[in-house]
Structure 1
Amino acid sequence: MINVLFMLTFIVGLALTLWAQWRVRGNFDRWSRVAARSGLTGAEVARRILDANGLHHVPVQMVPGRLSDHYDPIAPAVRLSESVYHSHSIAAISVAAHECGHALQHKEAYGALVLRHRMVPLLNITSGAAPFLLFAGVAFRMAGLLLLGLVFFSTVVLFHLVTLPVEFNASARAKKIMAQQGFISGAEEERGVRRVLGTAAFTYVAGALVALMELLKYVVLLFFQTNNDD
């Protein structure tokens, strides 16, 4: 029963993760070949959004890697991959606008973003210890260790859940700003932005679902373990 549970969650989790990654890459590649009518690059869009919102001190920097784009709240800085920084494509300006959405959240102290940042120090401890506690609890049939591992792993799941509104809100801001400032025009470009940002957001949904499945798996194991001990 336990072996089947482990195998099932592993297969479903892996399939969900790979499917989400495949969709992101597919949509990004598709809309990377479509140039925006505005003719702006990802870096130019990011700079205009930041300046329009009083974030002149936040630099737009190029970083190596593919789909390595992110907003660094500590620097602070918007960091774009080379394929986004120099590109005029719908995919590039969508990603750039999304990362600027996080910068705007930071400026406004958006609640979910603040909570996620505050969780990081705790997560650095619990995410590293949870796998060892869960493994030890299952291997040595120690319900106490398994329960402690569940508590630690719950913070990881919570972090995934808190990330969802952060990402969805950043995308919503990006789509609104891009339309208002004329970075995109027409139904086709709007559809491209929705596809790029929608599939990117789905990776976070997939991550949260996988984490929830893992948590449920260990809850079931704890239930069986405590019942068998009785």
Structure 2
Amino acid sequence: MIFDAYYFLFIAPAFLLALWAQARTKSAYAAASQEPANLTGAAAARHLLDSAGLQNVTIEPIAGQLTDHYDPTARVLRLSEGVYGARNLAAVGIAAHEAGHALQHAKGYAPLAIRNAAVPAANFGSGLGGLIILGGLLFQSSPLLWAGIAAFSAVVFFQLVNLPVEFDASNRAKAQLVSYGIVPEQEMTHVNRVLNAAAWTYVAATLQSIMVLLYYVWRFAGSSNR
């Protein structure tokens, strides 16, 4: 897309917030990684899942760093190399967060179901929304411009729904780690810092998608009326 300084003005706040959130997450993760835990990340997640009657949810290692996620279709919790076998508070906190998503799934947590249903539309909007808008500009087609803006709106919707899902998973993790005695309450500071910092990355991503959508509406809706 043609360079437009206004685009960078729109996304600058989200970009700066993302940089700050990533730095904070990296710092909190590094500090919590130095604090020993009674269980590995995989063992902590297994304990939380079993305590909730979710023995049918399996746990697998996955390559990469911070690639941890819960797959609701396969009912598999996948933990990254630095979490699965690591015995520190960072690993336990992240594993518990992902186990929180499995608990949400089991209990029919509505925002999670809505988020999962929105994934295909969000992927389409993220990949092709901008291209459709560009096509609308090239062909001077108002319907294409609005179709592109509508497609990208799915990304914003996904991010907005994703926020309560991630915050709820972290809250479940924090409560259960203490409740089941996996992490003593006095040692939860490091876990809280990791999960709270990670939450800010989701806030930054949501803000960025909102600001990009506002830019599209401001910049290209006017073009469609000319």
**Shared fold, TM over 0.5:** yes
Q: CA deviation at 1:26?
A: 1.6
Q: Equivalent residue for 2:212?
A: 214
Greater shift, 120-129 or 110-119, is seen at: 120-129
Q: How far, CA to CA, are the matches of 1:179 and 1:54 in structure 2? A: 18
1: distance between equivalents of 2:125 and 2:149? 10
Contact 1:143 / 1:222 at 8 angstroms: preserved in 2? Answer: no
Q: Which residue of 1 aligns with 2:33?
A: 32
Q: CA RMSD in A?
A: 1.8
- Tell me the distance in 2 between the aligned counterparts of 1:214 and 1:132: 14
Equivalent residue, structure 2, for 1:202: 200
Deviation at 1:192, TM superposition (A): 1.1
Task: Tell me by how many angstroms 1:96 deviates.
Answer: 0.6
Q: Deviations over 1:158-200 (max 9, x none)?
A: 001110011000000000101101111143x221111110111
Distance (whole Å) between structure 1 residues aligned to residue 213 and residue 152 of structure 2: 7
Which one is further off, 204-213 or 26-35? 26-35
Trace 1:155-174 onto structure 2 (pairs within 5 A).
Answer: 155-174=154-173
Using a 3 Å threshold, how does the CA distance of structure 1 residues 160 and 105 change in structure 2: closer, same or farther? same
The Cα of 1:201 is off from its aligned counterpart by 1.1
Give the TM-score normalised by the residue count of structure 1. 0.90
Q: Which has the larger displacement, 196-205 or 114-123? A: 114-123
Name 2:143's counterpart in structure 1.
144
Cα distance in 1 between the residues matched to 2:15 and 2:46 = 37
Task: Report deviation, 1:25.
Answer: 1.5
More divergent stretch after superposition (166-175 vs 115-124): 115-124
Cα deviation, 1:204-230, whole Å, max 9, x if unaligned, reads 111000000000001111343245x1x
Residue 10 (structure 1) shift: 4.8
Q: Supply the AA of the counterpart residue of 1:208.
A: T
Give 1:44-83 correspondences, 5 Å limit: 44-83=43-82
Match of 1:100 in 2: 99
Give the Å deviation of 1:120.
Answer: 2.2
* Unpaired runs of at least 5, structure 2: none
Three-state SS of the structure 1 residue aligned to 2:4 is helix
**1: CA distance, partners of 2:138 / 2:26:** 38
Residue aligned with 1:80, SS: strand
> Which 10-residue stretch deviates more, 164-173 or 10-19?
10-19
* Kept in 2: contact 1:91–1:193 (CA 8 A): yes
Deviation at 1:11, TM superposition (A): 4.2
Whole-Å Cα distance in 2 between the matches of residues 102 and 201 of structure 1?
A: 14
Provide the C-alpha distance between the structure 1 equivalents of 2:17 and 2:78, rounded to a whole number of angstroms: 28
Question: In 2, distance between residues paired with 1:73 and 1:80?
Answer: 14
SS of 1:78's partner is strand
Partner of 2:22: 21
C-alpha separation in 1, matches of 2:216 and 2:79:
38
- Structure 1 CA distance for aligned equivalents of residues 185 and 126 of structure 2: 44
Residue 35 of structure 1 aligns to a residue whose secondary structure is coil
Q: Secondary structure at the match of 1:62?
A: strand
Tell me how far 1:12 sits from its aligned partner: 4.1
What is the letter of the counterpart of residue 113 of structure 2?
V
**Residue 93 of structure 1: how far off its partner (Å):** 0.4
Residues 111 and 161 of structure 2 are in contact (CA less than 8 Å); yes or no, is this contact kept in structure 1? yes
